[in-house]
Amino acid sequence: MKPKVYITRKIPNEIVSKIEAVCEVRMWQEEEKPVPREVLEKEIADVDGLFCLLTESIDQALLDRAHALKVISNMAVGYNNIDVEAAKKRGIRVTNTPGVLTETTADLTFALLMSTARRLVESTEYLRSGKWETWSPLQLAGQDIYGATLGIIGMGRIGEALARRAKGFNMNILYYNRSRKPVVEKELGLQYTEMDELLQEADFVCIMTPYTPETNNLIGERELSLMKNTSILINTARGGIVNEDALYHALKNGVIWAAGLDVFEKEPVPLDHPLLTLPNVVTLPHIGSASIKTRMKMAELAAENLLAAIRNETPKHLVV
């Protein structure tokens, strides 16, 4: 009898076929709608493998319903949607997809930084709504990027890739990380600082750290108040790292100049969220890794991890 797998979203046929060569596959058939919790609760009962996305909360209550589960393969690098400890206790392996999305996510982070600094979204709306009557000296004037100071919080793979991009813009790069990275510091000419100093010095603060209980609300009212009133905050990591209430007030009251957000505490962000009313915020629907090639590589890697665990081999990217 083939092992059973449940896939929580419609993924490309060629990836499904690879899994089907070894397993009996059931799949949620929607592309744009997440699997309802009650369906997942039912589907998880008898499967050996779960292929899931960051939209699914894989918690203890769900795992209690899984009677044969060997592996949870998350098609994402972040795995804060999974109760990893609960999985470990039950002997269930958890895998993720690091590496393949590094450059694509760094591209998006830099694009968001540039469009926030130079007010691209606001400028497009300005033109389309017929407000463009003349050229004037301070019309839609933004902040310079070339030669500015970039502060990166979290120097993992994506932080490094972002620093490489910033080098091309002659930026002065500060970073804060739980541990220092002397090799990367030397190679990319980075300067390690404590977090408060980074917040005080940087013109751009980019959040690139994983979301954990320690980084929950890492950036709140106090941290925002340390930033310059010309500074820009960019978050392409996870929404919960920034206190959105504090961010709203900081942006509204000119404590900081602007923010670029690809992630939110609650996703999709509710349309009546106060942050969406501000002109100095660029908002994206969590598209950091969204290039066609990268999303394909993520799906392939998630499938490889899943199949390795099902065959009792060691998956390439094992979280636990």
Q: Which is nearer to ligand DGY, 105 or 116 (CB)?
A: 105
Q: How far is CA 19 from CA 31, 108, 296, in A?
A: 18, 30, 14
User: On the CB side of 197, how many CA atoms lie within 13 Å of its CA?
Assistant: 9
Q: Which of 5, 77, 308, 309 binds ligand DGY (CB under 6 A)?
A: 77
Catalytic site includes residue 90 = no
Q: What is d(CA 46, CA 37) in angstroms, rounded to the nearest whole number?
A: 16
* Nearest distance in Å: CB 289, ligand DGY: 3
* Nearest distance in Å: CB 162, ligand DGY: 14
* Nearest distance in Å: CB 313, ligand DGY: 23
Contact between residue 100 and residue 120 where contact means Cβ atoms under 8 Å apart: no
289 lies in the binding site for ligand DGY (CB under 6 A): yes
| Residues 97-136, mask of contacts with ligand DGY (x by CB under 6 A) | ----x-----------------------------------
Q: Which is nearer to ligand DGY, 98 or 151 (CB)?
A: 98
User: On the CB side of 2, how many CA atoms lie within 13 Å of its CA?
Assistant: 12
**Which of 267, 236, 234 is closest to 247 using CA atoms?**
234
Look up residue 11 and give its DSSP letter.
Answer: -
**Cis, bond preceding 210 (omega within 30 deg of 0):** no
78 lies in the binding site for ligand DGY (CB under 6 A): yes
**Nearest-10 Cα torsion for 309, 97, 26, 37:** 110
- φ, ψ for residue 152 (rounded to 5)? -110, 120
Q: Which of 238, 300, 304, 317 is catalytic?
A: 238
Q: Which residue has the tokens 């002065």?
A: 172
Catalytic site includes residue 128 = no
Catalytic site includes residue 267 = yes
Q: What is d(CA 83, CA 236) in angstroms, rounded to the nearest whole number?
A: 22
Q: Which stretch binds ligand DGY (CB under 6 A): 1-9, 30-38, 59-67, 75-83?
A: 75-83
Structure tokens belonging to residue 43: 């589907």
* Nearest distance in Å: CB 276, ligand DGY: 20
- φ, ψ for residue 162 (rounded to 5)? -70, -40
| Residues 54-73, mask of contacts with ligand DGY (x by CB under 6 A) | x-------------------
76 lies in the binding site for ligand DGY (CB under 6 A): yes
Q: Which of 90, 180, 267, 311 is catalytic?
A: 267
Q: Which of 9, 93, 119, 286 is catalytic?
A: 286
Number of residues located near ligand DGY, criterion CB under 6 A: 7
288 lies in the binding site for ligand DGY (CB under 6 A): yes
Catalytic sites, residue numbers: 238, 267, 286
- The binding site for ligand DGY (CB under 6 A) comprises 54, 76-78, 101, 288-289
